[in-house]
Amino acid sequence: MDQKFLEEMENFFNERLEDLDFYQSTYSPVKAQGGGDIVDQLNAEVDNAFQLKIKKRNSAYRQKLIAAMEKIQNKTYGHCEECGEEIGEQRLRARPTAQMCICCKEELEGIENSTADSPQRVLSFSAKNPPTSWSATACEQSETKGLSEDWKKFVG
Ligand SMILES: [Zn+2]
């Protein structure tokens, strides 16, 4: 991956983290005033539920940002966690925390949407040791993946 692009993404992640920290520091549960009427109490409850929801979503996003930054550090950022192929700058600009190339992502979503297969089956093909010597394209690789548990033997 292009060093300049990586630096750009790292800056982007840093800024997003600062945004999240800022939001987190302004988070405060709304307390219904003692003696307030039922509408005040309900409003406070709704506000709190809403803030809690955002807080949860932010903390999930925060995890993704941190994971992406760690990947930049250990030079795995921008590689698909499934097939090990480069995800591509264009996709990363659109989805900076993308973990998979578009082929693997679509395949996974297809399987998640069907009840016939379990997503674990696909997820078990970890890209911890991506098969970098393959000459097949990412899409071709992802096609071979679902065929056999014994996929290494199958393709090699
Ligand atoms: Zn992939």
How do residues 98-128 score in pLDDT, each as one tens digit?
Answer: 999 999 999 999 887 775 544 444 444 444 4
Write down the pLDDT at residue 25: 82
Phi, psi of 130 (to 5 degrees): -60, 135
Q: Give the distance (Å) from ligand 1 centre to CA of residue 142.
A: 7
Q: Please, are residues 107 and 125 in contact by the beta-carbon 8 Å criterion? A: no
Q: Please, are residues 30 and 48 in contact by the beta-carbon 8 Å criterion? A: yes
Write down the pLDDT at residue 94: 94
Write down the pLDDT at residue 144: 46
In 3D space, the residue among 126, 127, 137, 136 whose CA is nearest the CA of residue 156 turns out to be 136
pLDDT digits (tens, 9 = 90+) for 15-73: 999 999 888 788 777 776 666 788 888 889 999 999 889 889 999 999 999 999 999 99
> In angstroms, how far is CA 56 from the centroid of its own chain?
15
Q: How far apart are CA 15 and CA 11, in angstroms?
A: 6
The pTM of this model reads 0.62
Q: Where are the domains of the chain?
A: 3-73, 89-155
Q: Give the distance (Å) from ligand 1 centre to CA of residue 58.
A: 26
Write down the pLDDT at residue 115: 53
Q: What three-state secondary structure class fits 118?
A: coil
Write down the pLDDT at residue 113: 76
Q: Give the distance (Å) from ligand 1 centre to CA of residue 85.
A: 6
